[in-house]
C-alpha cells in the first residue's frame, strides 16, 4: 500500500520537535510539503500560501494543521474542498462553534477529520482507564504546572484571544482526565489569573464533579521553574492511582506499574492512518468544552504583568 502523503502546515517548535519525527518514523506516511509564512524544512517542498500548496502538490492526501488555533478552520475547510484528510493539533479550534462545520464537511467530503489530543496517547493512559473502569472513585487531583518561557519561547499568540494561555498545557491534563474517568465531569467553580498585560490566563484553579458528586480539583500554572509538574492522582476503593510525567509513568499505591516512553505523537499518526483507511473521523470536544466552561464560569483575577 502506498504511504499517505502529508503536508505539514505551521512549522514551529511543536511541528519540528514532534510531528516531523513522528511522520518520518511511520512507514505508512510521507511528508511531501510544508506551509509556513516564516519557516521551512530542508529537503521538503515549502510554500507560504496554503492554496498554492494544494494546487502545486495535488498528490497530497492529508494536511496536518499545526498553526495557532484561530487559523485552522479556514485551512481545514479548504483542504476538504480539495479532497484531503485533516489532522488538527490540539486544541482543535479557537471556539467550539468552529468545529461543527468541519465535522459536517468531513462527512460530506468522505474524508477523515482527526482532532488530536496527544496526551491521551501517553503509555499510561489506557491502562489507567482500564484500572478505573470498575473502581469506586473518591476524588481526583490534577497538578499541571510548567514554565511557559521554556516551552513557548517568543510565541506571543498564546497570550492573545484564542491562544488559551495556561489552558494550552492545561487542556492536555483535561484530555487525560476525560479519557480515564468512567463518567463525564462538569465545572462547578473556577478562578482564573490574568496578567495585567495579557488577554489569556497564566494560572487557573478549577473544581469539577461528575454526576455522582465525585470531586475533581485541578491546578494549572505557567510560572513554574525547575522541575515541571504533570501529575494526576485518583483515589479509589481499589487504591491510589497516579499518572506522572504527562501520563507516561503509572503507579498504583506508590508502586510503578508502567514506565513508558515518549510515544504520544507516533500514537497520533498511527491512529490517523487507521482512521484514514476507512475515511472515519475522531472528534472529541470534551476537553475543549471544559476549557470553554472555565472561561464562562471562572472568576477573573488580575495579577502582576508577565513578560
pLDDT tops 90 at residue 1: no
- Look over the chain and give the mean of its residue pLDDT values, rounded to a whole number: 96
What is the model's pLDDT at position 137? 98
pLDDT tops 90 at residue 201: yes
Does 128 lie in the same domain as 253? yes
By residue range, what is the domain housing residue 205?
119-261+292-303
Binned at pLDDT 50, 70 and 90, residue 146 comes out as very high
What is the model's pLDDT at position 294? 98
Residue 280 lies in a domain: no
Does 298 lie in the same domain as 181? yes
Rounded to an integer, the average pLDDT of 217-233 is: 97
Does 134 lie in the same domain as 105? no
Residue 80 lies in a domain: yes
Residue 129 lies in a domain: yes
The answer to whether the beta carbons of residues 195 and 156 sit under 8 Å apart is no
Q: Of 97, 115, 133, which residue sits at a domain end?
A: 115
Binned at pLDDT 50, 70 and 90, residue 153 comes out as confident
Residue 274 lies in a domain: no
* pLDDT tens digits along 84-122: 999 999 999 999 999 999 999 999 999 999 999 999 999
What is the model's pLDDT at position 98? 96
The answer to whether the beta carbons of residues 115 and 224 sit under 8 Å apart is no
Rounded to an integer, the average pLDDT of 277-284 is: 97
Q: Of 115, 130, 155, which residue sits at a domain end?
A: 115
Residue 246 lies in a domain: yes
- Whole-number Å distance between alpha carbons of 242 and 262: 17
Does 133 lie in the same domain as 99? no
Among 203, 224, 210, 150, which Cα is nearest to 177's? Answer: 210
Among 265, 242, 283, which Cα is nearest to 120's? Answer: 265
* pLDDT tens digits along 11-39: 988 999 999 999 999 999 999 999 999 89
- Whole-number Å distance between alpha carbons of 11 and 22: 14
The answer to whether the beta carbons of residues 301 and 191 sit under 8 Å apart is yes
What is the model's pLDDT at position 154? 85
What is the model's pLDDT at position 147? 97
The reply to whether the predicted model has a pTM over 0.85 is: yes
Does 128 lie in the same domain as 68? no
Does 158 lie in the same domain as 296? yes
* pLDDT tens digits along 205-224: 999 999 999 999 999 999 99
Residue 286 lies in a domain: no
Does 91 lie in the same domain as 186? no
Does 81 lie in the same domain as 179? no
Q: Of 45, 80, 115, which residue sits at a domain end?
A: 115
What is the model's pLDDT at position 169? 97
Binned at pLDDT 50, 70 and 90, residue 275 comes out as very high
- Whole-number Å distance between alpha carbons of 84 and 1: 18
Does 136 lie in the same domain as 89? no
Number of domains in the chain: 2
* pLDDT tens digits along 256-274: 999 988 899 999 999 999 9
- Whole-number Å distance between alpha carbons of 36 and 88: 16
Does 17 lie in the same domain as 100? yes
**Domain holding 153: CATH number?**
3.30.360.10
Is 90 marked active-site? yes
Does 109 lie in the same domain as 207? no
Does 256 lie in the same domain as 207? yes
Catalytic residue among 90, 105, 107, 189: 90
Amino acid at each position: 500500500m502506498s504511504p499517505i502523503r502529508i503536508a505539514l502546515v505551521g512549522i514551529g517548535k511543536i511541528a519540528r520537535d514532534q510531528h516531523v519525527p513522528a511522520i518520518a518514523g511511520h512507514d505508512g506516511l510521507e511528508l511531501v510539503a510544508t506551509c509556513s509564512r516564516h519557516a521551512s524544512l530542508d529537503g521538503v517542498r515549502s510554500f507560504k500560501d496554503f492554496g498554492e500548496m494544494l494546487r502545486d502538490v495535488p498528490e497530497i492526501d492529508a494536511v496536518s494543521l499545526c498553526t495557532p488555533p484561530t487559523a485552522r478552520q479556514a485551512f481545514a475547510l479548504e483542504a476538504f474542498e480539495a479532497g484531503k484528510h485533516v489532522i488538527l493539533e490540539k486544541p482543535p479550534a479557537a471556539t467550539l462553534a468552529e468545529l461543527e462545520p468541519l465535522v459536517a464537511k468531513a462527512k460530506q467530503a468522505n474524508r477523515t477529520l482527526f482532532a488530536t489530543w496527544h496526551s491521551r496517547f501517553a503509555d499510561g493512559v489506557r491502562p489507567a482507564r482500564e484500572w478505573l473502569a470498575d473502581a469506586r472513585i473518591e476524588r481526583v487531583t490534577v497538578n499541571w504546572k510548567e514554565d511557559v518561557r521554556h516551552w513557548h519561547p517568543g510565541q506571543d499568540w498564546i497570550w492573545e484571544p484564542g491562544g488559551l494561555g495556561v489552558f494550552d498545557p492545561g487542556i492536555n491534563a483535561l484530555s487525560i482526565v476525560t479519557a480515564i474517568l468512567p463518567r463525564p465531569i462538569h465545572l462547578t467553580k473556577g478562578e482564573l489569573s490574568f496578567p495585567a498585560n495579557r488577554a489569556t490566563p497564566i494560572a487557573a484553579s478549577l473544581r469539577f464533579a461528575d454526576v455522582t458528586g465525585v470531586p475533581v480539583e485541578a491546578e494549572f500554572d505557567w510560572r513554574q521553574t525547575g522541575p515541571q509538574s504533570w501529575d494526576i492522582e485518583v483515589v479509589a476503593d481499589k487504591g491510589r492511582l497516579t499518572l506522572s510525567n504527562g501520563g507516561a509513568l503509572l503507579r498504583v499505591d506508590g508502586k510503578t506499574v508502567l514506565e513508558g516512553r515518549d510515544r504520544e505523537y507516533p500514537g497520533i499518526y498511527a491512529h490517523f492512518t487507521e482512521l484514514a483507511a476507512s475515511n472515519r473521523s475522531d472528534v472529541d470536544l470534551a476537553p475543549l468544552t471544559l476549557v470553554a466552561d472555565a472561561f464562562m464560569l471562572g472568576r477573573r483575577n488580575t495579577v502582576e504583568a508577565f513578560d
